[in-house]
Structure 1
Amino acid sequence: MSGRWLVVFVVMMVVSGAGYTWHARKLHARAAVPVASAASAPAISLRTPGQLFFRNTVHGSDFGRVAAVPIDQLGQPNASRRVFDLSCDRFAVAAGVGLCVAQQAAVLPPVSDVRILDQDLHVVRERTLPGTVSRAKLSPDGKLAVWTLFVIGDDYSEDRFSTRAGIWNLATDEFTKTLEDMPIFTNAKRYFSADVNFWGITFAADDTHFYATLSSKGQTHLVQGDYRRYRGRTLEENVECPSLSPDGKRIAFKRRVSPDDPTWRLSVMDLGTREITPLAETRNVDDQAAWLDDRTVMYGLSRGNGESDVWAVAADGSGAARLMVAGAASPALAYE
């Protein structure tokens, strides 16, 4: 190699190496979240107080796994997360019971596993259903597991999609694959339509009353359901993905800005007065919110490429949204 080409070669290698170092540092910075391994961290369970559980969305070997951060470290950039050896697309926890809904990889048509977990995150029951994962929740006492799966399409903003929302009674093992045959009443009259879809179920503490979204003829409605009588009635239009507050008095939900605007905004409805309060989060939120407490609503906010963060905002419409956990989704807090 001539002297001139040797110089060119060395310069190219230096530039290439510098580019690689910059890229590697950028990737490392994106994934630089303190993680406590199972061997080094104190043992915790779904009954350990003061823990927020969520789905880890930091790219790397732990992507998609269930993780936890102490509540007193929420909002801190150096909060250390405990990552578990369990992967889920949606996760929920209540009264020491866990719900993990996960789509099986490389299976067509798509199927998903609905898994019930004990307090140590071991799978104790499991059912496999057709569809891709959308939502998952548990009743406050952990006795009723609910979920939503897409069976056609994979986004609520699509013109053509179909969902299956189901209920698993863990006390009796009664399994309801879909609510589509549940009688619905509007203004005391039975409603019939072939295009009815349900999603986003949330249960009250009595294990009887629940709320869900009903979609039909281009409109969405909040439905109040009676699990024991197996019937429901519509309450309000333009309500999606309801989430009942711990005190059972309010619903956090997402709603369309307008028929021509494909974005959603978070709001809270007082179930007694039907008064709706828009929350201070002004970005597009496509999630079924969760409650940190009776004053605070949590939700996942996507930033693309499978990444998301958990944010929180006051339930009374005041203040501003604040970051709770970076690289996280599907927040869940157990209420004992």
Structure 2
Amino acid sequence: MNPRATVQARPTVLVLAVLVLLGGSLGYVLHARERGGGHRLVAAEASFTLHEPGLYYRDTATGRVARTPGAPDGPSCARFYAAGERALCLRALPGTPARTQAVVYDRGFTELRTVTVPGIPNRARVSPSGQVLSWTTFAVGDSYAASGFSTRTSILDLRTGYLVKSIEDIPLTLGGGRYHAADVNYWGVDFAADDNRFYATVATGGRTHLVEGDLGAWSARTLRENVECPSLSPDGTRIAFKKKVSDDPAAPWRLYVLDLADLREHPLAESHSVDDQAAWLDDATLAYALPAREGKGGDLWSVPADGTGAPRLLVPGGSSPVAVPPVH
């Protein structure tokens, strides 16, 4: 079978403006609920650590973290990310209502902290130092989307131990003025190297925006419209993101890169719709997962960040890619 086969459309019920914005992500949520009990929750093998540099990812067949090349001997995770001295694993807990367990590990996969939050695992990120972490879940029952899903994003600062369970109340500046609305949703946080500045998606009024946040000042401001799931480059100058380019539910997004200096953007060579928060393998290359097709798990691909070249298959049957550098 051609691994570049077009992703098949899946039925999606869109409820209110927030659900329209989430689009294919709702399909992921429903799929995740159906598969929630498909993988047994297991810990990492004693020999599996983050001390060896390389590409780490979630193996779709087992639900466990793996390293290339190597067997999937890491812990069970629905979403995974690592940076600095820490790793973050999101697990979908069995039962209803839906709950997510966020587990913080050190490089040896010793559990340091566990937080249980409502909803279904969606996004996970760790700051370059490993000191600040964020995760997004799909939550059920918010007043403005009582019959559907909305997002809930948390931030955990390991330096102080302080957990922000939901960042929806952060003071937001939109269009130059303070903004308040009941339908504000955040997702897809990513951090700068200073452990203070962060980027995220905010959705409100049927639109998505890139926001730049300040943890110390506890504030956020919009920078640009139609930006989802931002991923900051290692040099801190560019943001990879998914941009809505079509109302076709089978292929609504394309991967783009935004230059923060002048807010100019360019599309990448990946022509398929990507519903993922891409990860930078280095300053020149991005990795991402293509959605599942025909009942099979998606694959990991890479593409140059400058818009040239062509996509390259990294790992069949993988998701949640992260490049772990050598220990200095």
TM-score by length of 1: 0.79
Cα RMSD after superposing both structures: 1.8
Structural mapping, 1:152-191, within 5 Å: 152=140, 160-191=148-179
Question: Whole-Å Cα distance in 2 between the matches of residues 111 and 263 of structure 1?
Answer: 28
**Distance change >3 Å, CA 113–CA 125, structure 1 → 2:** same
* Residue identity (%): 46
Aligned-partner SS, 2:115: strand
- Show the counterpart of 1:271: 260
| Aligned position for 2:37 | none
Q: Note the alpha carbon deviations across 1:142-168, whole angstroms, 9 max, x for none.
A: 001101000039xxxxx9531001100
Q: Kindly state the Cα deviation for residue 38 of structure 1 after the two structures are TM-superposed.
A: 5.8
Question: What is the CA distance between 1:290 and its match in structure 2?
Answer: 0.2
Alignment of 1:76-95 (within 5 A): 80-95=69-84
Q: What is the CA–CA distance in structure 2 between the aligned matches of 1:285 and 1:267, rounded to whole Å?
A: 10
Evaluate the alpha carbon distance shift between residue 255 and residue 278 of structure 1 in structure 2; reply closer, same or farther with a 3 A threshold. same
Q: Equivalent of 2:50, from 46, 49, 64?
A: 46
2:233 aligns to what? 245
Task: Work out whether residues 118 and 124 of structure 1, in 8 Å CA contact, stay in contact via their aligned partners in 2.
Answer: yes
* One of 296, 311, 319 as aligned partner of 1:321: 311
**C-alpha distance in structure 1 between counterparts of 2:311 and 2:118, whole Å:** 36
Q: Is it true that 1:236 corresponds to 2:240 in the alignment?
A: no
1:127 aligns with 2:131: no
> Is this contact kept in 2: 1:38–1:82, CA < 8 A?
no
The separation in 2 between residues aligned to 1:320 and 1:152, in whole angstroms, is 39
**1:199 offset after TM fit, Å?**
0.2
Cα distance, 1:258 vs structure 2: 3.3
> Residue 285 of structure 1: which of 274, 278, 285 is its match?
274
The alpha carbon displacement at 1:306 in A equals 5.3
Q: CA deviation at 1:220?
A: 0.2
Cα 1:177/1:38, change in 2 over 3 Å? closer
**2-structure distance, mates of 1:85, 1:280:** 32
8 Å CA contact 2:213, 2:220 repeated in 1: yes
SS of 1:333's equivalent in the other structure is strand
Q: Which amino acid aligns with 2:313?
A: L
- The equivalent residue for 2:58 is 55
Cα 1:86–1:38 change in 2 (3 A) is closer
TM-score, normalised by the number of residues in structure 2: 0.80
Whole-Å separation in 1 of the counterparts to 2:74 and 2:236: 33
Distance 1:306 1:246 in 2: 32
| Whole-angstrom distance in 2 between the partners of 1:220 and 1:47 | 38
Deviation beyond 2 Å, 4+ runs, structure 1? 258-262, 303-306
CA distance in 2, matches of 1:288, 1:97: 19
* Matched-pair contact (CA < 8 Å) for 1:47–1:96: no
**What's the offset of the Cα at 1:83?**
1.6
Q: Which has the larger radius of gyration?
A: 1
Q: Give structure 2 stretches of 5+ with no counterpart.
A: 1-43, 142-146
Matched letter for residue 183 of structure 1 = P
Q: Which residue number in structure 2 is paired with residue 207 of structure 1?
A: 195
Residue 136 of structure 1 contacts residue 200 of structure 1 at CA under 8 Å; is this kept in 2?
yes
Number of residue-to-residue matches in the alignment: 276
Is residue 2:214 matched to residue 1:226? yes
CA distance in 1 between partners of 2:181 and 2:225 (Å)? 17
Alignment partner for residue 197 of structure 1, among 179, 185, 193? 185
Partner of 2:130: 142
Higher relative contact order (CA 8 A, sep 6+): 2
Q: Residue 284 of structure 2 corresponds to which residue in structure 1? A: 295
**SS of the residue aligned with 1:292?**
strand
Does the aligned pair in 2 maintain the 1:311–1:325 contact within 8 Å? yes
3-state SS of paired residue (1:180): helix
Deviation at 1:47, TM superposition (A): 2.6
Counterparts of 2:319 and 2:176, CA distance in 1? 39
State the Cα deviation string for residues 12-35 of structure 1 (Å, max 9, x = none): xxxxxxxxxxxxxxxxxxxxxxxx
CA contact (8 A) 1:203 1:211 kept: yes
